[in-house]
Amino acid sequence: MRLLFCHTSIPLQHSQIISNSKPPPFLIPNFDLNKTLIRILSGALSLGLLTSSPSSNSLALESPSFQSPLSSFSEYCREEDLVEDSGPESDVVTNEGIVEEAWEIVNDSFLDTSRLRRWSPETWQRKKEDIKSSSIQSRSKAHDIIKRMLASLGDPYTRFLSPDQFTKMARYDLSGIGINIKEVPDENGRMKLKVLGLVLDGPAHSAGVRQGDEVLAVNGTDVTGKSAFEVLSSIQGPNETSVTLKVKHGNCGPIQSVLIERQVVARTPVFYRVEQMENGSTSVGYMRLKEFNALARKDLAIAMKRLQNMGASYFILDLRDNLGGLVQAGIEIAKLFLNQGDTVIYTVGRDPQYQQTIVADIAPLTKAPLIVLVNNNTASASEIVASALHDNCRAVLVGEKTFGKGLIQSVFELHDGSGVVVTVGKYVTPNHKDINGNGIEPDYQNFPAWRDVEQRLSRCKYAQQG
């Protein structure tokens, strides 16, 4: 079974991609959108974190920091680390086994976030007994049973994926070269950055990168201490240009530098400019963030520094119509504004791995007063940023109530190549408010004077200290 952790960032009924046209001034409440299907994930998910077993062909988008020590002769070498995925064992798994596998996943991980609380261990156990008491004659019948079983949970985001749908999801590529990178501990607890999944016949695979390889450097720069998210961002570049990866094959294999031609590129989601406000006496740095992709954090930091050099003493972050994207990118962007030690977000789930407190671990790029523009299409990763900045007294929110999408889904592969998407957790703001289904209320509906912004932020900080 393959497992991909996914943070949902795209509301089901609002699947769309923001156009690359120049945005209107920030005082205009809405943007024009090209309403198209989200590029992947059937319109419901935008990946914030993908992890997988060594047999996965998925793409890892986020992991904690790691160290990349060289192997010693005493390190245990496992040849199976070098074996690539041979595919699901559809010829040996039974129809009843596929249904029971899906049942077990829900039983172990599902978090019921509905107000009706339809799921309980007792009712779910009865479904398993029903499965065991019947004979399932075909694979399509097994899939239909799984669909009905998941539908009974009453969760619009928990659903079945056909083998074709799962394959499309697993090929989601942030790197542009078709690899999955994740930090993996060795026997001594030290972390290594490993290739745990390849897009077969993709650029990296064709160039000689293999399952289990350890990534040591990108374009000659040592990646020790960097996260998978940071490394994936550094691998990206213009289409048909090249990137050089230094990899060590397996645990004890040779070290090799591999030249790989990029085939996919993420476009910058950041637009910025300086605005003169209040009769030209105030320089404001306006930044519009269209989505949270692997370039978002890096490009927004560049924009902030350039705006500061241009004289900006106040900032506006426009998250209107931003439906989300990579949740880890949202977390990293929130950290650009927060003081070290401030809480970014809490995650809640039945499994301990989903019970986390995420805090800022770097100094902010700016402490200037900040306005965040939001509307009812501000969702998921955007809501994480907005709530983190608001609850830590770093920004006021202006506009409309946000969408209210704060769930975490995991995508599990079943043994016949199909899959299930299961809600496993949710986000809670630093002030312990549940985002999902509630959204975030703005402080102002209309654009306030900057002196009002400063006074409100000052009162907020005073209240927190007192």
Rounded distance between C-alpha atoms, residue 195 and residue 208, angstroms: 12
Confidence (pLDDT) at 168: 66
- Average pLDDT of the residues in 222-228: 82
Give the pLDDT confidence score for residue 114 in this predicted structure.
Answer: 83
Phi, then psi, of 322 in degrees rounded to 5: -95, 105
**So what's the pLDDT on residue 179?**
82
Q: What is the pLDDT of residue 323?
A: 92
Catalytic residues: 380, 405
pLDDT of the residue at 192: 81
pLDDT digits (tens, 9 = 90+) for 276-322: 987 778 899 999 999 988 788 989 999 999 999 999 999 999 999 99
CB of 275 closer than 8 Å to CB of 315: no
**Structure tokens, 72:** 């010693």
Average pLDDT over residues 115-126: 86
DSSP secondary structure of 346-399: EEEESSGGG-EEEE--S--S--S-EEEEE-TT--THHHHHHHHHHHTTSEEEEE
Q: Is the distance from CB of 84 to CB of 198 less than 8 angstroms?
A: yes
Residue 28 has pLDDT above 80, yes or no: no
pLDDT, tens digit, 9 for 90 and up, residues 137-147: 999 999 999 99
Mind listing the pLDDT tens digit for each residue in 347-389?
A: 999 888 778 999 999 999 999 999 999 999 999 999 999 999 9
Contact between 333 and 344 (Cβ < 8 Å): no
List domains and CATH numbers for the chain.
95-158 (no CATH), 176-262 (2.30.42.10), 270-464 (3.90.226.10)
Flag whether pLDDT at 242 surpasses 80.
yes
* 221-222 vs 282-289, strand pairing mode: unpaired
Share the mean pLDDT of the chain: 78
Q: How far apart are CA 199 and CA 417, in angstroms?
A: 15
pLDDT at residue 135 tops 80: yes
Is residue 41 very low, low, confident or very high in pLDDT (cuts 50, 70, 90)? very low
Q: What is the pTM of this model?
A: 0.67
The stretch 237-253 carries a mean pLDDT of: 86
* Segment 152-189, tens digit of pLDDT: 999 988 999 998 888 766 555 667 788 878 777 677 77
Q: Residue 293 has what pLDDT?
A: 83
- Which band of pLDDT confidence, cut at 50, 70 and 90, is reported for residue 190? confident
